[in-house]
């Protein structure tokens, strides 16, 4: 084993990007995937193909996992639990905070340490200077493998709790999918009316620049200050009704804005019509 060696298990788009980046930076890389053929391109570039999970685990102290979920993690690692002893597993697999904690405990019982990771860039961003990953778990494990982990992305360390990186990641993904779904719904309405996505692009970029609102809302949310001096729920109800009618008149499925409208109506029915949109956080928690 050498400091500059790593095992990558899981060769979907993210895993392949990670293994390729390690190869580009001169690291010795061992790879394993349930479909062996996905490793062919990496092997041609110098990666070592492990024939078994056990061989992949025993090849290096640092094992990077990039899988669909923790069910897949267990399905793979349970093939060779004895080979986990002494390994640090950088588990960059998306799942819930509770699953991350459960897997960390399972690994610890077999002599391994889990570093939970939440990668904040798509595969093409791996290795880029601005790329960042949330990590949580034992600080000493982060420091021991910092150089190897920073080959992939920068490190935003959140603390010892193995569930924290997963929690921060899921919060971000919550906003990501919701925001992109709104963009795609808007583009469906645009196309139904003969407006191309390219034509609307500069307007979309401007509309979806939420920085002003995020910076304005964050301290008010923390303070529980939901005064409707700038915006209010009743305005949102009226606006969303117009969005819904426009979508339906365009022949576009209105289920997405209808769901958001229902949330705003719940807030209004709870007596928050004059409150800021930030009051929706209270409605959602309730």
Establish whether domains 5-167 and 210-285 are of one fold. Answer: no
SS3 of the chain: helix, strand, coil, percent, to 5: 55, 15, 30
Q: Which two tokens stand for residue 274?
A: 């004059």
Neighbours of 98 (CB within 10 A): 12
Domain ranges of the chain: 5-167, 210-285
pLDDT of residue 227: 93
In terms of phi and psi (left: phi > 0; alpha: psi -120 to 50; beta: otherwise), the region of 33 is beta
Q: Which residues of the chain have pLDDT under 70?
A: 1-3
Q: Which two tokens stand for residue 120?
A: 């904040």
Point out which residues pair with 114 in neighbouring strands: 89
pLDDT of residue 230: 86
**Extended beta strands in the chain, E state:** 5-9, 28-32, 48-49, 62-65, 88-91, 113-119, 132-136, 154-157
Please name the fold of domain 5-167: Rossmann fold (3.40.50)
The reply to whether the predicted model has a pTM over 0.85 is: yes
Asked if 105 contacts 91 with a C-beta cutoff of 8 angstroms, the reply is no
pLDDT of residue 4: 74
pLDDT of residue 1: 41
pLDDT of residue 2: 46
Alpha-carbon distance of 123 to 16, in angstroms, equals 8
Alpha-carbon distance of 3 to 82, in angstroms, equals 22
Please name the fold of domain 210-285: 1.10.1040
CA quadruple 71, 73, 75, 80: dihedral, nearest 10: -150
């Amino acid at each position: 084993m050498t400091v500059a060696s790593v095992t990558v298990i899981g060769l979907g788009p993210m895993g392949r990007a990670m293994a390729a980046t390690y190869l580009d930076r001169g690291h010795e890389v061992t790879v394993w995937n349930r479909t062996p053929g996905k490793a062919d391109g990496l092997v041609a570039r110098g990666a070592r193909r492990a024939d078994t999970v056990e061989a992949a685990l025993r090849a290096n102290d640092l094992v990077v996992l990039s899988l669909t979920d923790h069910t897949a993690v267990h399905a793979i690692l349970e093939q060779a639990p004895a080979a986990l002893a002494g390994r640090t597993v950088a588990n960059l697999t998306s799942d819930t905070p509770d699953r991350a904690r459960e897997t960390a405990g399972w690994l610890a019982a077999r002599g391994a340490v889990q570093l939970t990771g939440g990668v904040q860039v798509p595969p093409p961003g791996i290795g880029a200077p601005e790329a960042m990953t949330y990590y949580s778990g034992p600080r000493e494990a982060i420091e021991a493998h910092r150089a190897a982990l920073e080959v992939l992305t920068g490190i935003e360390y959140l603390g010892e709790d193995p569930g924290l990186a997963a929690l921060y990641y899921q919060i971000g993904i919550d906003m990501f999918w919701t925001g992109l779904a709104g963009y795609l719904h808007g583009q469906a309405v645009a196309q139904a009316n003969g407006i191309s996505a390219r034509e609307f692009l500069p307007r979309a970029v401007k509309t979806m620049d939420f920085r002003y609102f995020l910076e304005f809302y964050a301290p008010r949310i923390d303070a529980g200050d939901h005064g409707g001096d700038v915006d209010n729920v009743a305005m949102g109800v009226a606006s969303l009704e117009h969005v819904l009618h426009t979508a339906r008149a365009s022949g576009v499925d209105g289920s997405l804005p209808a769901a958001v409208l229902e949330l705003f109506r719940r807030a209004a029915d709870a007596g928050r019509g004059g409150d800021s949109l930030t009051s929706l956080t209270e409605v959602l928690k309730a």
